Amino acid sequence: MTATPVTPSAASHPHFPTSSLHDLMYGHIYASALRAVVLHGIADLLAGGARTADELAERSGTRTVPLRRILRLLATRGLFSENADGTFGLTEAGADLRTGVPGSRHAGVLLFTDEMYQRSAGGLVDTLRTGQPGFDAAYGVPFFTHLAETPDASRLFDTAMTSLTGGVNELLAGSYPFPDSGTVVDVAGGRGGLLREVLTRSPGLTGVLFDRPETVADHLLDTAELAGRWRTEGGDLFTAVPEGGDLYLLKNILHDWPDDDCLRILATVRRAMAPGTRLLVIDAVLPADGTPHPAFALDVVMLMMLQGRERTAAEFEGLLEGAGFRMVRVVPTPALTSVVEAEAV
């Protein structure tokens, strides 16, 4: 009688680590494997349907055996499917790795698996002792100084942020009741993805996109639908921001900075605002009771890259009150971030 082969599993091995511990131990391996297939464009090659590892290797200029092994690993994470006929296909999650599609995570993967982040994460051991970001220790300058001095890194960062927030901007614009008229000033608004979505949804609004000159130069606002309803302005949010707006936006900005710098930013914005003008701080709002939230991981990214942090509603309220604002409410959204609404007093 021939015995039936038995494939060992984690559950059958008493010394195999639990799933959560295993994922943590192997996290950098999964990330590196993901970066490899993204750099070689494997998801784009699978856009038309499943292919064998031989076909994928030939089209991508890679070797069949290592590619098969990496795809097999990523299939266990739900990004690819390994089929009975020996082919590999894209799953719904893996489809986001393609380029040029709505919701693409291609640029985001390349950013968060870049050497900048890998070296900074490796410095968390020292961060626990010194309190300083691993990025500063690895590169000798703060993160945003490095971006300003390194065009390739700056382009990667801007492209990834635009990519990662594309669908999010629609969720944000649809979650808050923007006014029918007036001027919206998007402070440090990047290339203007959120402002474009807000102006598109509210035809009576005009907008001002404010950020670093090199960033706003590559803006996304030049569409026929928005003609004559926007302008860009370059500058430093610590020095001055455009005056005269009816509504000001700060999206994913305060979490980049420690409290003292946040107060400086908020004070600069407050000087540009008339009493009663509204400010929307769009950031993750951490639960105060420790309920699991994906922004806890983002909080550690802030720890290793910058001196910023994610905050609770009470912590936002303290910052706002310290800079001349009254917090009105927190508006939840389907995205990671919430809208913290405040009024200039």
Contact, 344 vs 279, CB < 8 A? yes
Q: Name the catalytic one among 40, 106, 219, 255.
A: 255
Q: Is 40 a catalytic residue?
A: no
252: left (phi over 0), alpha (psi -120 to 50) or beta: left
Contact assessment for residue 315 and residue 254, using Cβ atoms and an 8 Å cutoff? no
User: Any residues with CB less than 8 A from the CB of 191 and at least 6 apart, and which?
Assistant: 158, 162, 215, 216, 218, 219, 220
DSSP-derived secondary structure for 186-218: EET-TTSHHHHHHHHH-TTEEEEEEE-HHHHTT
Q: Can you tell me the distance from the alpha carbon of 114 to that of 111, in angstroms, rounded to the nearest whole number? A: 5
Q: What are φ and ψ of residue 51, in 5° steps? A: -140, 160
| Rounded CA separation 210/310 (Å) | 23
Kindly report the CA angle at 342 between 236 and 215, in degrees rounded to 5?
Answer: 25
Query: Could you list the active site residues?
Result: 255
